[in-house]
Structure 1
Amino acid sequence: MANKEKLPWDLEEEILSRVPPTSLDRFKTVCKRWNALFNDKTFINNHKMTFQFVLSTRSKIYSVSVNPKVEVRELTLNNPGLKAQRHKNLFATSGLLLCDVGNGAVVWNPWLKQSRCIKLEVNEPSLDFLGIGYDNNKRVEEIVYKTLSVYMKDLGSQYTWKIHDFASDTWIDQEIEKTKYSRRITEGSVTIRLTNLSVVSLNGKFFKFCDLPSGKNRRRDALALRVFREDRFSLLRQCHVTKKIKIWVTKNKIDNRYGGDVKWMSFMEVSIPTMPDLEHPKFNSQPSYFIDDKRLVICSCDETGRAWIYVVGGNKLVSKTQLDSVVDPWPLHCTYFPSLVLVPGGQREEAELQEAKNLHVTTELYVPGKTKSSIKLHYG
């Protein structure tokens, strides 16, 4: 039998980057090389269906990619067992998205189209969900995810943390003082107060982590916190008066100890007097952003509530794009990078599951001066 010509690895990788994300998780078991590839964040970032922002309006949910052209796609999220309504909050962390829907929450991986509902207990008051994370316990191999929420116990000064454990499907209560739950900007279970960075650990403890590098902030200044390169923090501040943007990042990796030795360093400064306001406090609309090398990409709403993507580099506004296809003003939005993290106990959309089971992909490549090559990917 004649020897079959093998595809060059770069062409094989190009073909795999076109495979639907719902199938990549199953293809990890094909061989060690594919498994390593699918765990490579560069591969995921270069996938043809990757995106960097998720936006939610009263009626629709969207993904937005900037690669470098801005592309908007509509997403679907079925909430079985939960009343359909606009999301109250969106939080992305650990490769998962937490959608607060008022009468409960949905933990969702929009890339894999997998989700899980979190229903409130009987007679439970309405909760404000604040984030999702997991215990940093290296002695336990299995990651146990938990969500963090809060509610006012009465009209007095007492608030209560509500922590939901995915593995046991149980709730844990922890009372806190009202003074510790003030105006906040939240990134997962990390909270920015006006002058310092506070952390809510998933056992309910609330403690100061470190001082912020931005100093005293005016109320109209935009202040947004992000995780930077997976293990550090970044902080964006825009001065309301001058429109100047400054970004700091933590110098060292963040561990689970309190951050008395955290050091911040200036990462980027951009002075664009014509830059619009990135915060609109009347609608609690903070900017979402990510840093790609020396390029800053921001999602924000203008004074009318329309969503825009701003790309900043070299101390100038490189491009600005209004997201015309996003219906309804003042969408919720957050930065989200796709991952193959499975939702614990989650369910896939049935149509996508059936499609993945019956997947047969054959791609033919024509390379000038060479014979035609093909690769077949089969599952089922």
Structure 2
Amino acid sequence: MISDLPRDMEEEVLSKLPMTSLRRARFTCKRWNNTLSKDWSFTRKYNGEAAKRKESQPIGKLDDAGVDIINVFHCQGLLLCVTKDGTRLIVWNPFTGQTRWIKPRDSYHRCDRYALGYEKKNNYPLKVLRFVDDYYRNLNRRVYKFEIFNLNSSSWKVVDFNPDWIIPYIYPGLSLKGNTYWFAENKVAPGKIGRVFLLCFNFTTESFGPRLRLPFRGRYGDTLTLSSVREEQLAVLFQECAPVYILKVWISSKVGPSAVSWNKVFLSVDMRPLIGFQFHCFAGSFFVDEKNNAVVVIDKTRGLPFTIRNMAYVLGENGYFKSVDLGDFAPMKCWPLVCSYVPSLVKF
């Protein structure tokens, strides 16, 4: 009987199936459906096997359904999308096509920040973090709101929290192992610049952890972005502002909600003779190719409107450099984003 298979053997068999067969296999028995749609550990195992087979599968388009997206947040094959008008929120699995609209507790705001993650117990429920820390002119004061939406219970929870730090809007978060990491700064007096550090939101404890050390000392105007390596480690890109333009990338050796340690510099490149400008703080998303000791940075060209293009810049050892035109004109206020995407069969 299928249901009599040991769990490890069951996962081993399922991990060998091609992606197109997994959808049908999910309905073979209830236990397999639970394994394929709810077990994040199996998802990681399957993604590893699929990568060995170099298997790929086309994904759908959300705009085919008439949904206009302005921002996305990625978490292990799932996307949390914010509509262009800033009033709607949707979770989308591009591989299976499943979508789910999330209604606000009261209303969404244009300055809201979001993250998608999951709890590491109780069947790994998906959760959405929504927070705003912004100055409201009509109220003449800053407003703090921290709320968590549980997709299992379809309910919002208000978190009473008044931090002594801020997460600047220019810094997007990064999901890793179900939690989310951000660059943050200490709150300081007007006109002064706070120290930059790393913060992690733990979706299991539903709280922010302590300040985490970065391998550099940044300042206002520097480019700072996060990426993940093999869904196991953090990578951080740091580029000094003019006139130096030195770009450096580090990869963590250990990372968790309460502690992080860093390896030595993975790559250091003087960008001044290569492109002559600094990657924008809104852009500069990147991914790391450990095997070839290279980094690919996504940004835009500089120039007049209607001439700006989305670009990929490949940086490697011994001065290796290559620029690739991605073939799209880039709207002035839109910035390209790259993330390490692998298909997921998780349902929500």
Q: Normalising by structure 2, report the TM-score.
A: 0.70
Q: Distance in 2 between matches of 1:322 and 1:121?
A: 42
SS at match of 2:153: coil
Aligned: 1:318 with 2:317: no
RMSD of aligned residue pairs (Cα, Å): 3.4
CA contact (8 A) 1:107 1:343 kept: no
- Which residue matches 1:160? 145
Q: Distance in 1 between matches of 2:21 and 2:124?
A: 21
Q: Distance in 2 between matches of 1:271 and 1:156?
A: 42
Alignment match of 2:216 (pick from 214, 217, 229): 214
Per-residue deviation, residues 129-168 of structure 1 (Å, max 9, x unmatched): 321111133xx3x111111111358642441112111101
- Which residue matches 1:39? 46
- Which residue matches 2:74? 92
Q: Distance in 2 between matches of 1:273 and 1:170?
A: 50
- Which residue matches 1:288? 285
1:29-68 paired onto structure 2 within 5 Å: 39-41=46-48, 43-44=50-51, 46-49=54-57
SS at match of 1:43: helix
Q: Distance in 1 between matches of 2:250 and 2:63?
A: 38
Q: Distance in 1 between matches of 2:324 and 2:226?
A: 23
CA contact (8 A) 2:224 2:237 kept: yes
Distance 1:242-1:36 versus aligned 2 partners, 3 A rule: closer
SS at match of 1:310: strand
- Which residue matches 1:271? 270
Tell me by how many angstroms 1:126 deviates: 5.2
Aligned: 1:255 with 2:232: no
**Structure 1: segments with no counterpart, 5+ residues:** 1-15, 51-62, 64-74, 346-380
Tell me by how many angstroms 1:79 deviates: 8.7
Aligned: 1:104 with 2:107: no
Task: Report sequence identity in percent.
Answer: 19
- Which residue matches 1:120? 104
Q: Distance in 2 between matches of 1:161 and 1:79?
A: 32
Q: Counterpart of 1:191 in structure 2: which amino acid?
A: W
Distance 1:267-1:182 versus aligned 2 partners, 3 A rule: same
CA contact (8 A) 2:88 2:108 kept: no
Alignment match of 2:181 (pick from 190, 200, 210): 190
- Which residue matches 1:364? none
Tell me by how many angstroms 1:320 deviates: 0.9
CA contact (8 A) 2:118 2:125 kept: yes
Tell me by how many angstroms 1:296 deviates: 0.9
**Structure 2: segments with no counterpart, 5+ residues:** 1-15, 33-41, 185-194
Alignment match of 2:341 (pick from 338, 342, 358): 338
Aligned: 1:146 with 2:158: no
Per-residue deviation, residues 301-353 of structure 1 (Å, max 9, x unmatched): 222453101111224343211222356344343333333323533xxxxxxxx
Tell me by how many angstroms 1:176 deviates: 3.1
Q: Distance in 2 between matches of 1:47 and 1:278?
A: 36
Per-residue deviation, residues 271-327 of structure 1 (Å, max 9, x unmatched): 34234445335xxx2211111121211111222453101111224343211222356
SS at match of 1:334: coil
Q: Distance in 2 between matches of 1:41 and 1:127?
A: 37
Distance 1:300-1:309 versus aligned 2 partners, 3 A rule: same
CA contact (8 A) 2:286 2:339 kept: no
Tell me by how many angstroms 1:37 deviates: 11
Per-residue deviation, residues 60-115 of structure 1 (Å, max 9, x unmatched): xxx9xxxxxxxxxxx620597xx94441x222122222212211222223233332
- Which residue matches 2:119? 135
Q: Distance in 2 between matches of 1:155 and 1:28?
A: 57
Tell me by how many angstroms 1:172 deviates: 1.1
Task: Give the aligned length.
Answer: 288
- Which residue matches 1:76? 61
Q: Distance in 1 between matches of 2:228 and 2:56?
A: 24
SS at match of 2:22: helix
Distance 1:125-1:290 versus aligned 2 partners, 3 A rule: closer
CA contact (8 A) 2:76 2:341 kept: no
Q: Counterpart of 1:97 in structure 2: which amino acid?
A: L
Q: Distance in 2 between matches of 1:36 and 1:167?
A: 19
SS at match of 1:39: helix
Q: Counterpart of 2:245 in structure 1: which amino acid?
A: K
Aligned: 1:303 with 2:285: no
Range with bigger deviation, 238-247 or 37-46 = 37-46
Q: Distance in 2 between matches of 1:326 and 1:244?
A: 27
CA contact (8 A) 2:132 2:143 kept: no
Q: Which has the higher contact order (CA 8 A, sep 6+)?
A: 1
Q: Counterpart of 1:95 in structure 2: which amino acid?
A: G
